[in-house]
Amino acid sequence: MNALYKLMMIAILLLNLNGLMAQEIYAGRYKAIFKEPPQKVPTAKTPDGPLAGNGDIGLTMGGTADQIRFFIGKNDFWRAYPVYPGGGIAFPGSLEFDIPALQGGTFYAEQHLDKADIEAVFKKEHLKLNLNAFVTARQNTIVFELETNQPISLKLKLKAAEGNTAVTAAGQSDEVYWVSRSFEHSPLLEWPAHIAMALKTIPAVTDFSGEITLYPGKKKVFALTVFSNQDCPDWKERTIAEAKQINAPEIIKMKLAHQDWWASFWKASNVRIGDTLLEKYYYASQYLFACSSRGDKFAPGIWGPFITRDSSAWGGDYHLNYNYQAPYWAAYSSNHIDLTANFDQPLLDYMEKGKNHARELLGIRGIYYPVGIGPKGLVTTRWPLSPDEMEKRYATRENTIDGGYKFLGQKINAVFSVSNMLMRFYSTYDQNYALKVYPYLLECADFWEDYLKLENGKYVIYMDHYGEVMPNLRNKGQWRNQLGDFNSTLSLGLVKMLFKGLVDMSVFLKKDGQRQAKWMDIRDHISSFPLGVIQGRQSLKSVERSPSEWHQGVMGLARVSIHGLVLPSGVCGPVTDPVFNQILLNDVAHWKDKINDPADWGNTLGNGIETCFPAAVRVGYPADEIIKYLKARIAKQSYPNLWITAEGGGIETLSAVPLAINEMLLQSYEGLIRIFPNWNKNKDASFEKLRAYGAFTISSKLKNGQILYVNISSEKGRNCILENPWPGQKVRVYRNGKKAEILSGKRFNLKTFAGEKISLNI
């Protein structure tokens, strides 16, 4: 079998050589390098070890040369319990390689972005062990390949995680060893969760309890298959059956399919900006998000599928006041729409409960969501179920606040997610997608139509809070005196976004024309964003008024207000309102006054790197300055696996660098496509197939201070409104390769046809 395996691999490599030579995967220029064992594996937050994944299954490497550990996570394996710790995404288990001969040996690993694998080398004196691991892109299987230069013995342990009310089992079926972990029959579980992992070696072994010997020149392959009851009802039987079918030819097929998927992924778009550090983090962030999310699978929680223990921070849930939404933001403009298709389902699944919350707690229509939910209608953020536990954790015995659910003083948790729905809608104008999410937008509209108050010709918002308001140990359970925000910028912006987007979607779908007048009235007459004066200049205020010293005292554009105004809402900007944008731009210009460390520009060491940096780009702060601070932030707080970390979140940071760079090169969120809108024109740059609102993909190149061309592909035949990339000059248009009209002026309104290719140059 080994000889056959080698021959087939050689043949496949030869067959693929021409293709690999013909088209380089640009992301392959970059990789993560590890010269010592990971320090934060396992962890309740972001791991620092080598990572691989297929958007459903995540693989985290830890341990040492002699005790190699692989932690397996899966996006759909949850303990469906309404309180954390204890509830939330759960840890399936681990695969361990114990190799005593490598005790004290060196640890070296690489995480490859183009191939989506982990390659490691462990050495001690003359002994060397090579390991390659990857999560197959198209199957539920993880592959581990080991080679050695000397005979070496190892012990293998496949372990299901124990505790937290789980029931585990293990067994062997022919040459396959399997383990399982289940949550069921515990009080308050909303649905049962089961997972199985089955291991097969190639060449096969039948004694998994003893030592396995590796010999020089003979590769040993370990294939681990993983299925949950969310994949199929016969989860355990299928796991074992598929593991049994794996052999050397099947491994080769999996590897080819894996390479093909990732090659297609990297072809979807491309940027080149002449800055190797930012390009490395640009592509690494894209890689890590693609490892975390796949459109036809469960959506990733705060830590993605890189789960290394139970009771991850915040239950690893879907935190709805920005953490859940943020990881997706760069995927739209990066033309990775397929990775975003899982976003909506948890929100749609919670709608009936959301209606009950609105009706029972507020007495109004629509949907009202707590701060944290999970899949399949799960709520993850109930207050502790006993007064004693409540007092221990939150310094009050009152565990029936808001019916026992954590709303934390905020009404925006449902409407916040409309931002992502609109990003995808405007990016694709996909009718089927619009029909899918339109009912959600309608429920949000019902809520806000009832909740808003009309005073003196303006719609105002009471009791929706700029930040979370809750009992805690710091305030000793005294929190109600902090309630009372009036006209929070976060709330005003998100509500404006909702009704603007709802009008656009209803027109597109030709639905609810009789309601559009009301929606436009709210859109046009929502209260103005509050302003104040600081150091003699106009500045944004977080709220019009509040009893909270913190909320009342936040002056200037900051992370939370950005969410409502600039990103993800997109209701403000230099095109929409240049005068107001100048106020926001001045606020950004004063961020540097508030820091001692350039890494904390925008106050992003805790949270907000994915918000503040792209928002600074959108309002027009100089790109070179943003890049300087972004590099300082990366250097201050990132891991060897190229994950930029934050104190309060995980995969949300993966959108920071891609979105900031994309917005420097191409903007379209204000209904006007702008080419290199915030880029130093003296620096060469190019991009291929970035996605713009209107269902366009666009490519362009800047060289020696001149834009050489703009290529536009129209998917849906919509009008393309474009700022003249060559101010003051006439522009030649080519349509499907043929000369067409000549345009002039500041803006062009290009009529397009579905599938049409348009090129512009001077």
pLDDT range class, residue 247, cuts 50, 70, 90: very high
Tallying the residues shown for the chain, one arrives at 762
Q: Residue 8 burial by CB count (10 A; 0-12/13-18/19+): exposed, middle or buried?
A: middle
pTM, entire model: 0.96
Please tell me the least confidently modeled range out of 23-27, 687-691, 707-711. 23-27
Residue 499 has pLDDT above 60, yes or no: yes
d(CA 55, CA 336): 13
Residue 16 has pLDDT above 60, yes or no: no
Secondary structure (3-state) at 68: strand
pLDDT of residue 190: 97
Which whole-number Å values give the CA distances from 316 to 192, 309, 602, 646, in the listed order? Answer: 18, 11, 26, 14
Using DSSP bridges, classify how beta strands 674-675 and 666-667 pair: parallel, antiparallel or unpaired: antiparallel
Residue 19 has pLDDT above 50, yes or no: no
Q: Show me where the domains of the chain are located.
A: 2-272, 675-761
Mean pLDDT, rounded, of the chain: 96
User: Under a CB-based contact definition with an 8 Å cutoff, are residues 118 and 70 in contact?
Assistant: no
CA angle 109, 115, 121 (to 5 degrees): 20
d(CA 721, CA 431): 21
pLDDT range class, residue 746, cuts 50, 70, 90: very high
675-761, superfamily in CATH? Golgi alpha-mannosidase II (2.60.40.1180)
Structure tokens at 499: 């009704």
pLDDT range class, residue 1, cuts 50, 70, 90: very low
DSSP conformation letters of 626-643: HHHHHHHHHHHSB-TTSP
pLDDT range class, residue 7, cuts 50, 70, 90: low
Of 406, 521, 539, nearest to 469 by C-alpha is 406
pLDDT of residue 6: 53
pLDDT of residue 621: 98
Secondary structure (3-state) at 387: helix
Tell me what the mean pLDDT of segment 93-118 comes to: 98
User: Under a CB-based contact definition with an 8 Å cutoff, are residues 47 and 306 in contact?
Assistant: yes
pLDDT range class, residue 648, cuts 50, 70, 90: confident
Residue 58 has pLDDT above 50, yes or no: yes
d(CA 612, CA 610): 6
Taking only the tens place, the pLDDT of each residue in 607-631 is 999 999 999 999 999 999 999 999 9
For residue 556, give the DSSP letter: S
What percentage of the chain has pLDDT greater than the value 90? 96
d(CA 489, CA 84): 30
> Thinking of the domain 2-272, which architecture would CATH place it in?
Distorted Sandwich (2.70)
Residue 18 has pLDDT above 80, yes or no: no
pLDDT range class, residue 2, cuts 50, 70, 90: low
- Pure H helices in 2-64: 2-22
Q: Which residues touch 319 (CB under 8 Å, ≥6 apart)? A: 302, 371, 372, 649
Q: What are phi and psi of 128, to 5 degrees?
A: -140, 135
d(CA 559, CA 42): 30
pLDDT of residue 286: 98
Residue 303 has pLDDT above 70, yes or no: yes
pLDDT of residue 3: 54
Of 131, 148, 130, 120, nearest to 218 by C-alpha is 148
Secondary structure (3-state) at 594: helix
pLDDT of residue 351: 98
Tell me what the mean pLDDT of segment 520-539 comes to: 97
Please tell me the least confidently modeled range out of 16-25, 172-181, 257-266, 428-437. 16-25
Taking only the tens place, the pLDDT of each residue in 541-564 is 999 999 999 999 999 999 999 999
Residue type, 565: L
Locate tokens 């040459």: which residue? Answer: 175
Taking only the tens place, the pLDDT of each residue in 152-165 is 999 999 999 999 99
Please tell me the least confidently modeled range out of 201-205, 507-511, 717-721. 201-205
